[in-house]
Chains A and B, each alone.
Chain A
Amino acid sequence: MHETILAADTAVARPPRGHYPNSDLWLDEQIWGHRIYPQTPWLLFLECLTVAEYFLRKGALLDEQGSYYPLVFYPLRRMHLRNILWNNDLIKSLENEKLDSNTSWKTWLEWMSEHAQNLHENDFSYLKPRFEKFSDFAFLVGMLRDASVEGESNKRWTSRFVFPFGASAIYEDATLDGKRDYINFTRTGELLYLMLCRSSVANELRPHLAQFLRGDNEWNKLLRVLEKTQEENGTERKSSYLPYKKHPCFDRLAEDWLRLFELGLPNFDVLNHMVTMGALHVLLYQLHVAAAWSNKQEPLTLLCEVVAPKKTLVRELSIINFQENNSLSGEAIQAYLTRISESTEWQEALALATQQDQYSRCREILLQEVWWNDQDYNGGEDPATLVEFLRDKAQSRHQQHAGEVHRSFGRLIGLVSRRATNKFRYAPTDSFLKTLIFANVRQRMELKEFFNLLFERYGLVFSEREAAQVIAEDEYDPKPFAANAARLEARLSSLGLLRRLSDGCAYIINPHGLE
């Protein structure tokens, strides 16, 4: 694995430094991309869709057209729609006041012309002829507002998002004065889009994604009714960078999305599962790449506890396993720096005559390799101290952002939990398990086979068979893992996702499975 990812022919050339004038360190970015940051899974998904929506408009969905960098696109802002949906407290009270329709319109339009923001002209009068009654308009807006994504966590009206019924619901995040902000849309969604482009099944996935975005449903059409006119073009966005041309994680991500689409779930049910899978694969991508950079030989595993009423061996091992995985990305950062300090270039620098020469050459190397200009360094002119300083700096920078991805994504998709303990571990929720089944079981699958598949594909370990392959013999005890598997079985069966035949034989059932 190590060799394949880091091989020259899969690496995407490093972008010119001039494209990132504000960057004072280029390290996590070179390992995982620009950028991998924590963000909620839904926002990750929506951000990915802002890119997809643009390329659908331009007829190049999931197609990088041979160039891996830069990714230039123009996301829409839909400020009329957003003012109606999110910057509009009056509408609810007007609906309750039961005024006649004309009066309500008049009051509302006046209020809007005063309060709407980030528009050239606060004119919403185009809406009135499009609806029969104000109450119809108010009801439908109310429905859309109820369907907001991550409604609880985003207070700022410019950072509230409507459920993605189709392309008309897609717009980028903004600050209150309408500027691009990277708090909610952290760019990881753009990486997600690039991963899909570079997957082996991009061609198969394209028509499904396009059909979803076209949004041939009344809600997506309603969103168009609420817009004044079609927005021409957005503002230029560029400079996302994904350092690998291919990766098994990209393939698995796109395959999972493809299979979810193929299930043909009713209404918008598929989206929740895509959101979960999207975040899961970004998480796994980070871990796999980290393991490769830090030269780990053993396969990546995630020991999952199916929550038991009391402490079990599985829980203990899962806690340790979580901590090990959680520190992987930090180890990759250190390994990256070790590579530099062990490089021939660096060694040659150390062989220079004077310490000053050595120091100044090493500075140059660091500037060139990780774009660090050491302005914040105030130690002595010693390469070893310099690199130690950088190690600490890089580690703490990493911990604040990319280092949070594993835990944060894991928790939000329901893979990681602290339930019944004070330590994090892998303890999947029902809805996470459901997503795994929907993406992997086309109709039915024998339980043991399913366990094996989860292990091979995602590194997830539930039952004693897989545990035996990854746990050292002296620590391994099959019983707690067998009990763990039995608990999973009982849970799946209570969700209607498993059918037990008799002793030792059970089938996972996908109730929406293909005939």
Chain B
Amino acid sequence: MIQPERLPVSKDAAYRNKDLALNWIRFVRKYGPIPANDSAFEEHTGKAANRAGVSPITFLHPRFAEVLQCLTGQEILSVILTGTAGDGKTHLCGKIWTELRGDPTAWASNNPYIYLVLPSGAKLHVIRDLSAWVPQQGAEWNEPERDLLELFSRCLFESTGTDYFLIAANDGQLIETWRRLPDSLSVNKARRHFEQMLVEDLESLPDVALRFFNLSRGSSAELFDCAVEAFLEHPGWQYCFAGESGESVAFGPLSPIRRNFELLQSTQLRQRLRDLLELCDYNDLHIPIREILALLVNAVLGHPTCNKDHLMVPGDVARLIKEGSLARASIYNNLIGGNLRESRRESIGVFNYLDRFRLGHETTNRIDSILIFGEADDALREYYDAYLGNDEFYGADASYRQAQSNYVEAADEDGSNSKFLDMLIAQRRALFFKIPASEAEELHLWELTVFRFAGEYLEKVVRNLCPPAQGRVERAIVNRLVRGLNRVIVGMLITDDRKLFLGTSLQSTGAKVSRIYEDAISVQASRGEKVEIVWNGNKPALLVTLNEHISESFTLNLVRYEFLSRVAEGALPSSFSKECYEDVLSFKSRLLTALKKRRQQDGDQLDNTLTFQRLRLDESGRPENLTIQLTVPA
């Protein structure tokens, strides 16, 4: 934790520091959750930083070294950096430019296309903003632009050794640009390859001299690690919290800005937040760097009643203390955008995604008992003190106690309770970040989110399988998922989880209930069959092996994992997620096709016997299949 240093400073220096502190806060707010959807964010922050006399928040992109390697290694490869707005494409381009000793004045120009000469003597064409480079929609191509992109397309397939490219573009623009280019063999081929790499998440293809970096496919959790470090370590905070400034009302011990900044340094809080972001990754919800920074700024400065953007400025602090509304600046609430209006929260990816965990709205009886009755209940008192009583800042303050006692004593249906219910929401959120890992299981931490199985998913599945880990997932989990699959596939409340049952109905494989038994795949390895959870690319997947050559896999993102687990525990498939239900049905369809393939390999029966297998459940939910055989008359 950064300790405010007590340096002897001159009076002038103190004033200067105060200005710097204010400048820093003013500047850092620009990273906040304000609607700034411009593509030149990078340039604008650079200029704003200059004006404020501070340096921007920067860190080396996790993929920097790899990109550089492509352009400086033995075999040079062109590079496309793609991703969504705010992924840091331009920033990464700039770092590469500097590293390769590109002319700083060329970079400072507004030209979207610049170039430099590589050590090998070859030319590196850099298109740092493709959308600014190609003609507007509907306008004609200019020759130089078209020629350059055609040259690029050709270079992908026949290396000349003289021209290489570094192109930054949103994926949509990339495809759109190549669609608009006049047709030619290499242009069409290039477009098909881009498409394939984008949709199938590939970084390279055989015989194509290109590395494709889709920054939107990187891990948001990893970006978070870099960003939070750079954010907290930024010297700008020293102006605020060190020296005399650190004793001012705005940044002193009672300041929520300071308190939030300190809390953000806690390993546990960071880990829990990181877990949430990692789970977003596993739900295919990507959070760009710009939004991670917005999240961090909001965490420290957020307050629902301050300013238009709901972010505090130092001048607000005195008022907040006087009003007694410090608790509403709680970092726990800010982290998920609780300080923002709903419409704003929905419009910013990161808050929208975090909101899907429904933190604060999901709870258990135990948690609510601690929050409501904990102070008076001996059995819960210990928890109450640890999580609320001892937190003078965001725990049970005077207003909380007052509202709580009103709530407990009030008659039912009393409208005045709504204030306390709002406080409960904030406290549940706080609890999610406060409960230490050692108590997570006991207090059912993840039941504070809609993803009750998220903790298990991370700890017992992801961290066991994600390379370099080479662990295995415990049997009970595989069995539970199989039971969930069985229930969706067969449409009856099967209790069996040692085999994966494949059933059909007569007309359509998508029918809700299957009364015809097709086959069952053993979960435990047996005669070439097995069902296991494996690591597949960037996610766990359920792999169903039918024999040596035939297998099908079902990617387990968090939602699917939760879905199958809940169905296994008795939830009705249609009540949870239509999307997952459709996904499983389409997996079923693939499994049936695989089964057909295996039957063909095994050789079809050619005799005159017809066999039907009827699938039904016995009283305890175990499936039984009755075989009916008959002979076809000649």
Contacts and interface: CB of A to CB of B under 8 A. Distances in A.
Nearest to B591: A266
Contact of B632 (A144, A224, A509): A224
Interface string A228-258: 0000000000000000000000000000000
B199 A266 contact: no
A139 B628 CA distance: 9
B630 A503 contact: no
Interface string B609-620: 011101000000
Interface in B618-632: 628-632
A495 B578 CA distance: 7
Chain A interface bracket (under 10, 10 to 19, 20 to 34, 35 or more): 35 or more
B508 interface: yes
A132 B510 CA distance: 31
A132 B84 contact: no
B495 interface: no
A505 B578 contact: no
B245 interface: no
Contacts of A265: 589
A146 B506 contact: yes
B283 to A, nearest CB: 13
Contacts of B631: 130
B628 A140 contact: yes
Contacts of A391: none
A15 interface: no
Interface string B486-520: 00000000000000000011111110000110000
A132 B612 CA distance: 13
B633 interface: yes
A361 B357 CA distance: 82
Interface in A90-120: none
Interface in B512-530: 515-516
B172 A266 contact: no
A495 B170 contact: no
B437 to A, nearest CB: 34
B610 A501 contact: no
B214 to A, nearest CB: 8
Contacts of A271: 507
A131 B630 contact: yes
B83 interface: yes
A454 B568 CA distance: 40
B170 A505 contact: yes
B163 interface: no
Interface in A132-167: 132, 136, 139-140, 143-144, 146-147, 163, 165
B111 to A, nearest CB: 24
B579 A496 contact: yes
Contacts of B592: 266-267
B553 interface: no
Contact of B85 (A163, A165, A503): A503
B589 A147 contact: no
Given A139-B628, A267-B508, A494 B582 contact: yes
A505 B83 CA distance: 11
Contacts of A272: 507-508
Interface string A399-441: 0000000000000000000000000000000000000000000
A269 B610 contact: no
Contacts of B84: 502-503
B593 A264 contact: yes
Given A267-B508, A269-B510, A502 B170 contact: yes
Contact of A219 (B176, B199, B506, B515): B506
Contacts of B198: 501, 505, 507
A217 to B, nearest CB: 10
Contacts of B375: none
B589 A494 contact: no
Contacts of B578: 494-495
A218 B216 CA distance: 49
B629 A132 contact: yes
Contacts of B229: none
Contacts of B583: 496
Nearest to B587: A511
Contact of A147 (B176, B199, B507): B507
B173 interface: yes
Given A446-B175, A502-B84, A225 B633 contact: yes
Interface string A457-499: 0000000000000000000000000000000000001111001
Given A504-B173, A507-B199, 7 more contacts: A143-B516, A218-B612, A266-B593, A493-B579, A494-B582, A499-B199, A502-B170
Interface of A: 130-132, 136, 139-140, 143-144, 146-147, 163, 165, 218-219, 221-222, 224-225, 264-269, 271-272, 444, 446, 449, 493-496, 499, 501-505, 507, 509, 511-512
Interface of B: 83-85, 170-176, 179, 195, 198-199, 216, 286, 504-510, 515-516, 578-579, 582-583, 586, 589-590, 592-593, 596, 610-612, 614, 628-633
19 contacts: A130-B630, A131-B630, A143-B515, A165-B506, A222-B610, A224-B632, A224-B633, A225-B610, A267-B592, A269-B509, A271-B507, A272-B508, A444-B195, A446-B175, A496-B579, A504-B176, A505-B170, A505-B176, A511-B590
